[in-house]
Amino acid sequence: MDFSFYRVFIIAGVLAVQFFLSTRNNKYWGAFLPVAYIVFLTWMLITNHIDSAISYFLILLLGLLFLIAEWSGGRKYLIEKRKKELEKMKIHDMR
H-run or E-run covering 25: none
Q: How far apart are CA 83 and CA 95, in angstroms?
A: 19
Domain ranges of the chain: 8-94
- pTM of the predicted model as reported, rounded to 2 decimal places: 0.84
In this predicted model, what pLDDT tens digit does every residue of 50-65 receive, in sequence order? 999 999 999 999 999 9
Cβ atoms 73, 19 nearer than 8 A: yes
Model confidence at 1: pLDDT above 60: no
**Per-residue pLDDT tens digits for 14-59:** 999 999 999 999 989 999 999 999 999 999 999 999 999 999 999 9
CA distance 50 to 1: 25
